[in-house]
Each structure stands twice: as structure tokens, then as C-alpha cells.
């Protein structure tokens, strides 16, 4: 019995000593591989703004996503005055048969302005938060608009059909994409050859715009990122109170 216990002890000792060493080596190897992947990636990982996620793309830190808990802010009474959405609708030159996607649709603030104009077309409301999509669906039960389609997007994909979109709208959301490169690739596939992107972002060039710096973008930064994914700036319609209205299309 004594010899048996000694053998058990030795086996346990060997397992703890060498087994833990193997686990440690495996963990270190995994960490090394992760670091290598990060270094080779288009993204950088380092500290920055407290409202950022510590992930950087082309010199810009990505901001935290605004959760569905902020839905009341999206529907605030002052929003029309601050953003002049009526003017944005004019800028988009929406046709009745257009197929339009609102990426990061949130509560559907813009969706419900677009849908009655594109009444013979379609409006895709895309969001990664199911609570936002539920809010849109709930509101539409009362309105009864039959040209709205809900899509639960993913961090790296809009989940939109290929070659289907005439106009694509992103309002104050692109700077929050955790994977901007992959999302732009997904958008490129979904956009028709003559399709247009309307990128709405708070002007970082203007210190008077009362928004946190990480939630703003410069035209220069936006152009740099979009050109890297095959788009070109057609124009920046400078008629909104606080925001850029940058129009992008596919490069020839």
C-alpha cells in the first residue's frame, strides 16, 4: 500500500510539474501567435481615448458603440434642428424606386423618413443590436410601411444582398465599426456599380461642434480609409449644421 501511494504521488508530481509547463508553453505560444496576428493586421492595438476601444485603423482610434440604452437620444426633439435631416433627404436625391440601406439604423430615425419617399423601392434597416431592430419593427406596426426590411448585421458584414443597393446611408456610425476594413468590403459588394454612399460624420475640423473628439471624423481621414477599399469621394455637401455629408462611389 505504501509503495502504491508513493507511485501515485510521483505520478501527480510529474503531471503538475510538466503538465503545467506544457500548458504554460501552449498559452505563451497562443499569446505569441495572437501578437503576431495583431502586428501583421491592418489594425493596431494600443491605449488611447477613454471612449475608444484601444483598436486603431489607419491612425484613427475606433469609438465604442452606442448601446440601445441610448435610444431616447436618437429620438430627441432637438435632433432635426441639430442635424437638419430634411436637408439630408434632399442631398440624397431619393427616387421612388431606389433600394436604400441604412447601416447602423438604430431606432429607425432616418428609415422612417426615407421609406415614404422610396415608396416603390426598398429600405434595408441594418443594425447589429436586436433591440434596435425590435424598436423599428414595433414602430412600423403602427405605421404599416411595407417597404422596410430588417437585417441583423454582424461586426464584419452588413449581410446585404450582393449588387443590390442604389444608395447607402451611414449616420454617425462608421467611426464605431470594430472592423471598418471588412465592413467597407461588405459594402463594396452590396453597392451597385453606380451606387452612392452617404457618409454622415460630425466634423472634426470644427472645434465648435459639441461632440466628443473620438465621435468626429475629418474629411481627410474618411477619404484615406474609403480610398483604401476601392471608393472615391464624389463630393462633400457642406450644408448640414454640424456634420459632413460625404458622397462616395466606386472607383472606375
Q: Could you read off the pLDDT of 128-160 as tens digits, one per residue?
A: 999 999 999 999 999 999 999 999 999 999 999
> If you average pLDDT over residues 58-87, what whole number do you get?
93
What is the pLDDT confidence band of residue 125, given thresholds at 50, 70 and 90?
Answer: very high
% of the chain with per-residue pLDDT over 90: 80
What is the pLDDT confidence band of residue 251, given thresholds at 50, 70 and 90?
Answer: very high
> If you average pLDDT over residues 164-177, what whole number do you get?
98
Output the average pLDDT for the chain.
87
Nearest to 184 by CA among 144, 220, 151, 155: 155
Give the model's pLDDT for residue 40. Answer: 53
What is the pLDDT confidence band of residue 5, given thresholds at 50, 70 and 90?
Answer: very low
Give the model's pLDDT for residue 69. Answer: 87
User: What pLDDT, in 10s, does the model give residues 102-116?
Assistant: 999 999 999 999 999
18 pLDDT higher than 70: no
Nearest to 169 by CA among 102, 122, 110: 102
222 pLDDT higher than 80: yes
Under a CB-based contact definition with an 8 Å cutoff, are residues 51 and 205 in contact? no
Under a CB-based contact definition with an 8 Å cutoff, are residues 121 and 95 in contact? yes
Give the model's pLDDT for residue 67. Answer: 87
Could you give the dihedral angle defined by the CA atoms of residues 185, 195, 201 and 136, in that order, rounded to the nearest 10 degrees?
Answer: -90
- What pTM does this model have? 0.84
Q: CA–CA separation, 121 vs 141, rounded Å? A: 19
How far is CA 137 from each of CA 98, 123, 145, 172, rounded to the nearest angstrom?
21, 13, 10, 22
194 pLDDT higher than 60: yes
188 pLDDT higher than 90: yes
DSSP the chain: -HHHHHHHHHHHHHIIIIIHHHHHHHHHHHHHHHHHHHHHSSEEE----TTEEEEEETTEEEEPPPPGGGHHHHT-TTHHHHH-HHHHHHHHT--TT-EEEEET-TTSTTHHHHTTTTTTSEEEEEES-HHHHHHHHHHHHHH--TTEEEEE-BTTB--PPTT-EEEEEEES-GGG-SSHHHHHHHHHHHEEEEEEEEEEEEETT-TTS-S-GGGEE-HHHHHHHHHTTTEEEEEE---SSSEEEEEEEE--
User: What pLDDT, in 10s, does the model give residues 35-46?
Assistant: 434 445 899 999
Give the model's pLDDT for residue 156. Answer: 97
Amino acid at each position: 500500500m505504501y509503495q502504491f501511494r508513493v507511485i501515485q504521488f510521483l505520478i501527480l508530481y510529474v503531471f503538475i510539474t510538466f503538465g503545467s509547463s506544457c500548458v504554460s508553453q501552449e498559452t505563451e505560444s497562443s499569446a505569441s501567435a495572437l501578437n503576431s496576428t495583431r502586428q501583421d493586421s491592418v489594425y493596431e492595438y494600443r491605449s488611447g481615448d477613454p471612449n475608444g476601444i484601444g483598436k486603431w485603423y489607419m491612425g484613427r482610434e475606433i469609438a465604442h458603440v452606442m448601446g440601445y440604452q441610448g435610444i431616447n437620444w436618437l429620438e430627441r426633439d432637438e435632433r432635426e434642428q441639430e442635424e437638419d435631416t430634411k436637408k439630408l433627404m434632399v442631398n440624397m436625391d431619393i427616387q421612388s424606386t431606389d433600394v436604400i440601406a441604412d447601416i447602423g439604423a438604430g431606432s429607425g430615425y432616418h428609415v422612417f423618413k426615407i421609406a415614404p419617399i422610396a415608396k416603390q423601392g426598398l429600405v434595408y434597416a441594418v443594425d447589429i443590436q436586436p433591440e434596435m431592430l425590435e424598436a423599428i419593427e414595433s414602430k412600423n406596426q403602427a405605421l404599416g410601411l411595407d417597404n422596410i426590411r430588417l437585417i441583423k448585421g454582424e461586426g464584419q458584414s452588413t449581410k446585404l444582398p450582393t449588387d443590390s443597393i442604389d444608395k447607402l446611408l451611414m449616420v454617425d456610425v462608421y467611426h464605431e465599426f470594430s472592423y471598418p476594413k471588412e465592413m467597407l468590403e461588405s459594402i463594396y459588394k452590396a453597392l451597385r456599380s453606380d451606387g452612392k454612399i452617404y457618409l454622415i460624420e460630425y466634423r472634426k475640423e470644427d472645434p465648435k461642434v459639441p461632440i466628443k473628439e473620438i465621435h468626429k471624423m475629418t474629411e481627410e481621414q474618411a477619404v484615406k480609409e474609403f480610398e483604401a477599399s476601392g471608393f472615391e469621394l464624389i463630393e462633400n455637401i457642406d450644408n448640414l449644421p454640424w456634420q459632413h455629408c460625404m458622397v462616395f462611389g466606386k472607383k472606375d
